[in-house]
Amino acid sequence: MFLSGRVATNDGTALPNDVMIERICNEKVRQQVYATLHGDFTMQLGSLADSFLDASGQLAQLRPDPNNPGMMGMSRRELVTCDLRVSAAGFHQTRLSLMELANFGESIDVGSIVVQRGTKIQGTTVNAALYRVPNGARKAYEKGLDAENSGKLANARTYFEKSVAIYPKFANAWFELGNVLRAQSEKDAARDAYTKATTIDAKFVPPYLQLAAMACEARNWKEALDFTGRILDAEPFQNPSGYTLDLDKYAYAEAYFYDALANFNLNRIADAERSALKAEQELRTRSPRLHLLLAEIFARRKNYTNAILELQTYLELAPHAPNADQVRANIAKWQALNASASAANPEPK
């Protein structure tokens, strides 16, 4: 039996790359998987990776499902004590009970699980230009936000498209349309929508963050630096026009992360380290991927002591990550290199 679903954000922005889905039964973690970059996930129930306890507290054995004779699976009785818990950097944990699931065939689809951002990106709703648009465009935009926050992306897309059709200079609506298009994996269309938003209002910052993320996904490092520069070169939380900038501290930290990643891949190690350390001020306990990047930066500078510490922090935050074995191998490798360096350059007595 396979259990699958999708994870989406309440504001339509892209998910981080460390979204973990855990199946918890009787308040004990029984299975962990990571979502794809698009938010999809699948668990195989009753597999060797599934150390499941049934409702009576006994280890469940593979046996025919009473609802599907002949299929080796798990019964409804064994799932009623289970929840799915979704954890993602920068978002509140979300839990979904499996008690009410009605479909117990070979595949169970739990649908979309919407996660709420822990630190809201304020600029998606507070741009002053919002209140100068025609009434019809604004109403369509607000309906789009409601649909987007409910995870109804198709409806949200329709409303945002209607909004920009009524008022093509509506930067907020273009940005939200870009978020929905990106969530629907229409990358080119999303990029166009974000670009239109920045063309309309060059001081509207959130689209630049999404464009930077997409440039990093495409490994277009110079383009990523151009977009992060538009964010980080501005005076924090204030722009030349005098109104509050559209990003909170968490989003600024994300911009520093993308800036560090791009600089690292362009072999600009000093710049990469500077931006990564600034990102760490906000993301230290929320972003395992940042610690991986810092480890690579320190290792490139032959600072193996700090590189090892960063990998150890990564494993503390994501002990069951798919690359955990490779990370442990890197720790062992860098420990050996660190020992060799220490032997070759002993400290003076």
The string of pLDDT tens digits covering residues 283-307 is 655 677 888 999 999 999 999 999 9
Stretch 125-140: mean pLDDT: 70
Residues 105 and 139 in one domain: no
Q: What's the CATH code of the domain at 78?
A: 2.60.40.10
CA distance 279 to 276: 5
Residue 147, φ and ψ in degrees, nearest 5: -65, -40
Residues 95 and 204 in one domain: no
The string of pLDDT tens digits covering residues 8-63 is 887 667 777 678 888 877 667 777 777 877 788 888 776 544 443 333 333 333 33
Q: How confident is the model at residue 77 (pLDDT cuts 50, 70, 90)?
A: low
CA nearest to 272, candidates 257, 288, 260, 280: 260
Is residue 164 over pLDDT 90? yes
pLDDT at 222: 96
Total domains in the fold of the chain: 2
pLDDT at 61: 38
The mean of the pLDDT values for the chain is: 77
Residues 289 and 260 in one domain: yes
The stretches of 69-205 forming alpha helices (DSSP H) are 76-79, 123-126, 135-149, 153-166, 171-183, 187-200
CA distance 232 to 275: 10
Residues 152 and 196 in one domain: yes
pTM score above 0.75: no
Helix 288-300 and helix 269-283: axis angle, to 10°? Answer: 150
CA distance 165 to 34: 38
Stretch 67-71: mean pLDDT: 39
pLDDT at 133: 80
Residues 250 and 142 in one domain: yes
pLDDT at 233: 77
Stretch 135-140: mean pLDDT: 90
Residues 193 and 244 in one domain: yes
Residues in CB range of 282: below 8 A, 6 or more apart? 249, 250, 252, 253
The domain in which residue 270 lies consists of 123-344
Stretch 128-149: mean pLDDT: 80
Residues 183 and 271 in one domain: yes
Report the SS3 class of residue 49. coil
Q: What sign does the CA torsion over 200, 206, 207, 208 have? A: positive
Please tell me what DSSP assigns to residue 168. Answer: T
